[in-house]
């Protein structure tokens, strides 16, 4: 067991108090460190690739507030843009130029998106796209994949990933059977099972929704041909293909996983990066489908703070920063160095491990693998992952507090940060 070297007195005090005020002391379950054990770190401030906790400890951050901080936390240009926007107010609840600007940037960037609707979270984006795909096809059933997470709306809480997987919840109580009776599930990377579901439910399936690169069952890449196969199957059975790019959007590539893999879905959900750290989600796609969304069409969806000027401002500036030449080459290079390094060190210190990275997203499983789907991921040594997480934390490296999450880099991470992380990892893995 790694000895505790950092002082977490204040984190412990604050977190103890929080547990009397909020369920589990958190605003989102995965933050409670349930699956890795130990004391959650209470943040005081973040900047670039770094976090400082309330005890003054500094960490290199590979969670990046779960994806949004791809430019590094509190980027000076984002902060400056927000200060300027603040002078004009915090919320309009009415059309603003800013929404046009971000909408145009998203439409220009993401191959599938001809029209877009902004909402306030990835969950809302997935809820909106679910209603829309059902309205457009006049079919009710959907196919999702085990271990994929599409937010916490009832219909998606079936063999979901992220916090549901982290807490080992079969599915959530409070979700009526009626809400999930139309949710079909298949193993990720298994085209045969998808074809079988289409055959068994002919003309009843509105569409297939997936994470084109999985981050919520740990990091799982699509096998060659998987995305292309889904594109063909959905065409063949008159169903829609929906990429949930809340996590992969503007991270796997500027145009998302759909640009990287050259497979264009009918609809796409976004979040995280496009808000630059403020609450934003979005769904978009083919004009003929999006034109059904109220008030242009009959499919209702609304939101008080949707298109919020501050969130739009942070998103616009973030995407502008991401457009700088060489950004994604840099992200690919440093993340590959990190992921390859971690696997090499695991091997040299005698731990069965597998994993990988695509652009600024990476993952590590303590299992010989390979990991092609959620079942494979669950075979990994999650207890060892917990000890690894704790050991890294004690030495100033903050990894996602669950085996069933992915890791995120930013262009604020330097070569030195990666080298430091690998040095710490060798120390920890040698004593696991
Ligand atoms: P939000 O409602 O949390 O903004 O987005 C839901 C969502 C939808 N789709 C994908 C692919 C996602 O990754 C997410 C949210 N991701 C998790 C991290 N695995 C958010 C972290 C949390 O739940 O605290």
pLDDT at 167: 72
User: Does any ligand 1 atom lie closer than 6 A to the CB of residue 126?
Assistant: yes
Whose CA is closest to atom 15 on ligand 1? 151
Domain shared by 195 and 305, yes or no = yes
Q: Is the CB of 161 under 6 A from ligand 1?
A: no
Over residues 54-74, the mean pLDDT reads: 98
Residue 3 clears pLDDT 50, i.e. is over it:
no
Is pLDDT at 4 greater than 70 in this prediction?
no
In 3D space, the residue among 29, 35, 61 whose CA is nearest the CA of residue 384 turns out to be 35
Q: From the CA atom positions of the chain, what is the Rg in Å?
A: 21
* Residue 216 Cβ contacting ligand 1 at under 6 Å: yes
pLDDT score for 172:
87
For residues 277 and 150, membership in a common domain is answered with: yes
Rounded mean pLDDT of 353-380?
97
pLDDT at 5: 65
Q: Which domain holds residue 349?
A: 9-62+326-431
> What integer is the mean pLDDT of 309-326?
98
6, pLDDT greater than 90: no
Band of pLDDT at residue 233, cut at 50, 70 and 90: very high
Predicted pLDDT at 170: 60
pLDDT computed for residue 73 by the predictor: 98
Residue 67 within a domain: no
Query: Which residue puts its alpha carbon closest to atom 22 of ligand 1?
Result: 28
The separation between CA 87 and the C-alpha centre of its own chain, rounded to angstroms, equals: 31
By most ligand atoms within 8 Å of CB, the mutation choice from 32, 63, 66 for ligand 1 is 66
In this prediction, residue 169 has a pLDDT band, given cuts at 50, 70 and 90, of low
The CATH code of the domain that includes 39 is 3.90.1150.10
**For residues 284-311, average pLDDT:** 98
Q: Answer yes or no: is 71 within a domain.
A: no
229 lines ligand 1 (CB under 6 A): no
Q: Give the pairing of strands 407-408 and 361-365.
A: antiparallel
**Which residue, 322, 345, 369, sits at the end of a domain?**
322
Looking at the domain assignment, is residue 70 inside a domain? no
Rounded distance from Cα 212 to ligand 1 centre (Å): 14
- Is residue 201 situated within a structural domain? yes
Inside any domain, residue 32: yes
30 lines ligand 1 (CB under 6 A): yes
For residues 210-227, give the mean pLDDT: 98
Weakest-pLDDT range from 93-97, 155-159, 249-253, 365-369: 155-159
Residues 313 and 334 grouped into a single domain: no
Does the structure show a pLDDT above 80 at 332? yes
Same domain, 82 and 135: yes
Ligand 1 centroid distance, CA of 163 (Å)? 9
160, 181, 182, 245 from 185: Cα distances, Å: 10, 11, 10, 19
For ligand 1, is residue 166 a contact (CB within 6 Å)?
A: no
In a domain, 348, yes or no: yes
Judge whether residue 2 has pLDDT over 50: no
Residue 228 and residue 107 share a domain: yes
CATH of the domain at 207: 3.40.640.10
Q: What is the mean pLDDT of residues 7-15?
A: 96
- 105 and 235 fall within a common domain: yes
Last residue of a domain, one of 322, 351, 371: 322
- Which residue, of 322, 351, 386, is where some domain finishes? 322
Residue 1 has pLDDT above 60, yes or no: no
Q: How far is the CA of 286 from the centre of ligand 1 (A)?
A: 24
List pLDDT tens digits, range 262-290: 999 999 999 999 999 999 999 999 999 99
Domain membership flag for residue 1: no
Round to whole Å and give the CA distance between 392 and 378. 22
Identify which has the larger pLDDT, 175 or 255: 255
Residues annotated as catalytic (active site), given as ranges: 149, 244, 272
Residue 347 sits in the same domain as residue 293:
no
- Report pLDDT for 168: 64
Q: Is 162 in the pocket of ligand 1 (CB under 6 A)?
A: yes
Determine the residue of 28, 122, 147 to mutate for testing ligand 1's pocket, defined as the one with the most ligand atoms within 8 A of the Cβ atom: 122
Query: What's residue 171's pLDDT?
Result: 81
The number of the ligand 1 atom at minimal distance from the alpha carbon of 272 is 4
Across all residues in the chain, what is the average pLDDT?
A: 96
Can you tell me which atom of ligand 1 is nearest the CA of 269? 9
Q: Are residues 299 and 398 in the same domain?
A: no
Please compute, for residue 274, the number of CA atoms within 13 A of its CA located in the half-sphere on the CB side.
38
Please tell me whether residues 80 and 141 are part of one structural domain. Answer: yes
pTM comes to 0.97
Number of the ligand 1 atom closest to the C-alpha atom of 405:
19
Ligand 1 neighbour 151 (Cβ under 6 A): yes
Asked whether residue 369 is domain-assigned, the answer is yes
Substitution candidate for ligand 1 out of 154, 247, 306, 362 with most atoms within 8 A of CB: 247
Mean pLDDT confidence for 211-233: 98
Q: Are residues 108 and 244 in the same domain?
A: yes
Burial class of 192 by CB neighbour count within 10 A (0 to 12, 13 to 18, 19+): exposed
Q: Is the CB of 28 under 6 A from ligand 1?
A: yes
Do residues 224 and 83 both lie within one domain? yes
- Ligand 1 atom with minimal separation from the 162 CA: 19
| Predicted local confidence at residue 164, as pLDDT | 81
Q: Is the CB of 335 under 6 A from ligand 1?
A: no
Return the percentage of the chain with pLDDT > 70, whole number.
98
Task: Please state the rounded mean pLDDT for residues 124-146.
Answer: 98
How many domains does the chain fold into? 2
Q: Are residues 380 and 239 in the same domain?
A: no
């Amino acid at each position: 067991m790694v000895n505790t070297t950092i002082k977490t007195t204040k984190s412990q005090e604050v977190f103890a108090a929080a547990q009397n005020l909020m369920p589990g002391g958190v605003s989102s379950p995965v933050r409670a460190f349930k699956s890795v054990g130990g004391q959650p770190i209470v943040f005081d401030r973040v900047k670039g690739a770094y976090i400082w906790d309330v005890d003054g400890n500094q960490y290199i951050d590979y969670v990046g507030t779960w994806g949004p901080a791809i430019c590094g936390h509190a980027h000076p240009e984002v902060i400056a843009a927000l200060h300027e926007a603040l002078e004009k107010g915090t919320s309009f609840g009415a059309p603003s130029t800013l929404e046009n600007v971000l909408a145009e940037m998203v439409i220009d960037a993401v191959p599938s998106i001809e029209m877009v609707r902004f909402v306030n979270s990835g969950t809302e984006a997935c809820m909106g796209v679910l209603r829309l795909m059902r309205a457009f096809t006049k079919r009710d059933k959907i196919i999702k994949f085990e271990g994929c997470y599409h937010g916490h709306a009832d219909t998606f809480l079936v063999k979901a990933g992220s916090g549901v997987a982290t807490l080992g919840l079969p599915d959530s109580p409070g979700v009526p059977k009626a809400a999930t009776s139309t949710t079909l599930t298949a193993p990720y990377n298994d085209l045969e099972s998808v074809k079988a579901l289409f055959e068994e439910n002919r003309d009843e399936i509105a569409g297939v929704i997936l994470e084109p690169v999985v981050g919520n069952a740990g990091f799982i890449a699509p096998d060659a041909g998987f995305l292309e196969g889904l594109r063909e199957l959905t065409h063949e059975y008159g169903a829609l293909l929906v990429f949930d790019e809340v996590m992969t959007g503007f991270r796997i590539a500027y145009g998302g996983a759909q640009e990287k893999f050259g497979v264009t879905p009918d609809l796409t959900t976004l979040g995280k990066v496009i808000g630059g750290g403020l609450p934003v989600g979005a769904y978009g796609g083919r004009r003929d489908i999006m034109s059904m969304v109220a008030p242009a069409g009959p499919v209702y969806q609304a939101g008080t703070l949707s298109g919020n000027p501050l969130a739009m401002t942070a998103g616009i500036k973030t995407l502008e920063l991401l457009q700088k030449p060489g950004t994604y080459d840099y992200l690919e290079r440093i993340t590959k160095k990190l992921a390859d390094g971690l696997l090499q060190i695991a091997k040299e210190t005698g731990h069965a491990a597998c994993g990988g990275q695509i652009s600024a997203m990476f993952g590590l499983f303590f299992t010989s693998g390979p990991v092609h789907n959620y079942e494979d991921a669950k075979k990994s040594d999650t207890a060892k992952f917990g000890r690894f997480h704790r050991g890294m934390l004690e030495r100033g490296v903050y990894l996602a507090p669950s085996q069933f999450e992915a890791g995120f880099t930013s262009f604020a991470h330097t070569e030195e940060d990666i080298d430091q992380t690998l040095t710490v990892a060798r120390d920890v893995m040698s004593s696991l």
